[in-house]
Chain A
């Protein structure tokens, strides 16, 4: 009990009453009244359909919502289990709604979920985002069963997404994580994960709850810690991921900075581990994969190229400090090509990311400025990718992504050499 002294007293009282559970699902939330009801019902249906005999708990770890999120969670329930082809659960489904304390952010919310999992000796756990519109009861099975029935410790999500969706994941996070740690986890920052009680203990053993991990870097931290800790990893195909529309004014530059800084910080923490890794291995995948047709979507390539060119004109001296002379020379060269033939080759992109990782490690300039200066380069790369693949289907895009990943792996010695220079 002493290890969980930081849990709020009223929560500890509730946990004492519950005793132990087999399965726990956590939902971190903040002002999600519009969507969380559906998520709660999906979790309850998932418990009833796939784990009717197990002792289950749904915990909502809330960051002080003011829109009535806790009330929605409290009132959400399945009235007629027959309609979802499930029987009424044989054991009570516990539900806890509690605020978390500490730095506001998903990391602090999940720390509380890990603490509860340890307290209740949960065998298998999952966390799902509170803004999901496409979650179904099957997600609970797909995230929990690999742990509960197959002995895995960490289940990463695998979504069906549009070929241009998740560009930060596809161009930076997935290929870089794969090249660094040698595991092909396709959605390392997916947000919905399954994990064992053992892994929850491992997460809690690290004192990162006053860092950026508590605020925004928890997803990649969980994935990286699971890989570097030597835990059994797999992924589950969950289908489409549709979540509530984000604020259109949300700053892409800030989002890119948060994601990339999380990955780069972890590179520093696990330097000894990733330097030893060569190549990569696939991880077992559960679920029934499928593809659907691609709807044409609006992408403003001209604007992206324009920002890239403005960056080249205005941030040139800064890029010169960050990038190696060879990389910078190449970027200058592609900046002078015309609009239609504009291309940012994979090899140059990988060198760019590796140069940025090294500059971050060596703190060549202020780190926030460093990461913000990546944005025009990132948009240049995305514009080039869109120009290269106007007619490509999902499989073709996935093949191109595989080529990019191999480029990351092939150039890893360059990263190590620059890192140590």
Chain B
């Protein structure tokens, strides 16, 4: 049965065997790294959750309104739990990438290198969004309280405009950080921001001319007519 065909088959099988011999330890190493990664990520998740509970992070999120943002996004878990899960997935994905790189596959190596170079930008973008949500929530609540206490019309609308503008700003900054179509995002932000302002101006000046008059009259004329209370509160 000796012949060129048999040689070719045998050579291929030998090469496959050699390849398998080289690959299997790499695969095993990758699986071990991933398993260790899962374990490390799980321990870290527990540690972070415990530390945040001790640091009263959940109460802090309640105070700043971050919990309400999570609730509105239908995330029912406590903020400390969310932070723990987030850390788990970041660590686990990092170990997964390291594990995959142990396979010594050129394409995967390139992708992993790119992933690690991109990771800080993802962090920065997430941080910008989180801080943006916190600031937006805080300022919109401050605007709502000020508008209610000043007896202004439509306090909710004022508060929503504040929140919306800050959300747009945070979103645009996050996208710019991720370098996703930077010039388009910047242009889109300017256009969107300008459009909101122009829209408000048009709505107030043309579409809602009568409403605008009534609101302004209520704010200024009626206020002048309404004499202040004659007693001292303090």
- The answer to whether B231 touches A253 (Cβ under 8 A) is no
Contact string against A for B residues 217-232, beta-carbon threshold 8 Å, 1 for contact and 0 otherwise: 0000000001111111
Greatest chain A CB density within 10 A among B62, B145, B151, B228 is at: B145
CB pair A310 B148 closer than 8 Å: yes
Q: Are A315 and B226 in contact (CB under 8 A)?
A: no
Q: In the complex, what's the smallest C-beta–C-beta distance from A211 to chain B, in angstroms?
A: 20
B-facing mask of A343-369, CB < 8 A → 1, else 0? 000000000000000000011111011
- Contact between chains at B234 and A255 (CB < 8 Å): yes
Q: CB of A162 within 8 A of chain B? A: yes
The answer to whether B149 and A363 have CB atoms under 8 Å apart is no
Select from chain A the residue with minimum beta-carbon distance to B228: A248
Stretch from B44-52, B105-113, B136-144, B170-178 contacting the other chain: B136-144
In this assembly, does A300 line the interface, its C-beta being within 8 Å of a C-beta of chain B? Answer: yes
Q: Are B234 and A259 in contact (CB under 8 A)?
A: yes
For B156, what are the chain A residues with a Cβ–Cβ distance below 8 Å? 314
Query: If A253-B149, A314-B155, A372-B149 touch, does A167 touch B138 (CB 8 Å cutoff)?
Result: no
Known: A306-B151, A364-B62, A366-B64. A168 touches B233 (CB 8 A): yes
B residues near A311, Cβ cutoff 8 Å: 148
Determine whether B26 belongs to the interface, using a CB cutoff of 8 Å to chain A.
no
Q: Are A363 and B230 closer than 8 Å at their CB atoms?
A: no
Q: How large is the interface on A (under 10, 10 to 19, 20 to 34, 35 or more residues)?
A: 35 or more
Q: Is the CB of A298 within 8 A of B233?
A: no
Whether B234 lies near A303 (C-beta < 8 A) is no
Bound CA–CA A13/B233 (angstroms): 42
CB of B233 within 8 A of CB of A256, answer yes
Which A243-272 residues sit within 8 Å CB-CB of chain B?
246, 248, 252-253, 255-256, 259
**Which listed residue, B62, B63, B229, B234, touches A298 by the CB 8 Å rule?**
B229
The reply to whether the CB of B94 lies closer than 8 angstroms to some CB of chain A is no
> How near does chain B come to A175, taking the closest CB pair, in angstroms?
15
The total of chain B residues at the interface (CB under 8 A) is 26
Indicate whether A380 reaches chain B with its CB closer than 8 angstroms: no
Cα distance, A307 to B209, chains bound together (Å): 26
Alpha-carbon gap, A167 to B229, bound state (A): 12
Q: Which residue of A lies closest to B150 (CB)?
A: A253
Contact across chains for A369 and B141 when beta carbons are under 8 A apart: yes
Residues of A within 8 A of B144 (CB): 314-315
Is A324 at the interface (CB under 8 A from chain B)?
A: no
A252 contact set on B, CB distance < 8 A: 149, 233
Q: Are A299 and B148 in contact (CB under 8 A)?
A: no
Closest beta carbon of chain A to B72's beta carbon, Å? 11
CA distance A297 to B231 in the complex (A): 7
The chain B residue with its CB closest to the CB of A304 is B229
* B-facing residues in A298-353 (Cβ within 8 Å): 298-300, 303, 306-307, 310-311, 314-315, 318, 321
What is the CA–CA distance of A362 and B65 in the complex, to the nearest angstrom? Answer: 15
Whether the pair A365, B62 counts as a contact (CB closer than 8 A) is yes
A32 part of interface (Cβ distance < 8 Å): no
B148 contact from A298, A314, A365, A368, Cβ within 8 A = A314
Is residue A169 contacting chain B, with contact meaning CB distance below 8 A?
A: yes
Asked whether A363 and B234 contact (CB < 8 A) given A303-B226, A314-B156, A369-B142, the answer is: no
B151 touches A298 (CB 8 A): no
Whether A61 is near chain B, meaning CB under 8 Å from some CB there, is: no
List CB contacts (< 8 Å) of B27-67 with chain A: 59, 62-65
Evaluate contact between B63 and A165: CB separation under 8 angstroms: no
Of A166, A300, A310, the residue contacting B234 (CB under 8 A) is A166
Q: Complex Cα distance A310/B147, Å?
A: 10
B127 vs chain A, min Cβ distance (A): 21
User: Does A255 lie within 8 Å of B148, measured CB to CB?
Assistant: no
Complex: chain B residue closest to A301, CB-CB: B229
Chain B proximity mask over A261-300: 1 for CB below 8 Å, otherwise 0: 0000000000000000000000000000000000001111
Q: Does the CB pair B231–A168 fall under 8 Å?
A: no
Closest B-chain residue to A241, C-beta based?
B232
Q: Are A300 and B233 in contact (CB under 8 A)?
A: no
Inter-subunit contact A307/B233 (CB<8 Å): no
Residues of B within 8 A of A369 (CB): 141-142, 145
Q: Given the complex, which residues of A lie within 8 Å of B62, measured CB to CB? A: 321, 364-365
In the assembled complex, A189 has its CB within 8 A of some CB on chain B: yes
A258: nearest chain-B partner, CB-CB: B234
A315 touches B148 (CB 8 A): yes
Complexed CA–CA distance, A100 and B192 (Å): 51
Indicate whether A375 reaches chain B with its CB closer than 8 angstroms. yes
B residues 177-234 touching A (CB-CB < 8 Å): 226-234
Contacts of A306 in B (CB 8 A): 151
Contact assessment for B231 and A363 in the assembled complex, using a CB-CB cutoff below 8 Å: no
Determine the distance from Cα of A365 to Cα of B156 in the docked complex, in whole angstroms: 19
Interface, chain A (partner B; CB < 8 A): 162, 164-169, 189, 246, 248, 252-253, 255-256, 259, 297-300, 303, 306-307, 310-311, 314-315, 318, 321, 362-366, 368-369, 372-373, 375-376
Closest 3 CB pairs of A and B: A297-B230, A164-B231, A253-B149
Interface residues of B (CB under 8 A from A): 59, 62-65, 138, 141-142, 144-146, 148-151, 155-156, 226-234
A166-B234, A169-B234, A315-B145 are known; give 10 further A-B pairs, CB within 8 A.
A165-B231, A252-B149, A297-B231, A307-B151, A310-B148, A314-B148, A364-B62, A366-B63, A372-B145, A372-B146
What are 10 pairs between A and B in contact, CB < 8 Å? Answer: A252-B149, A253-B146, A297-B231, A299-B231, A306-B151, A307-B148, A314-B155, A363-B59, A366-B141, A372-B149
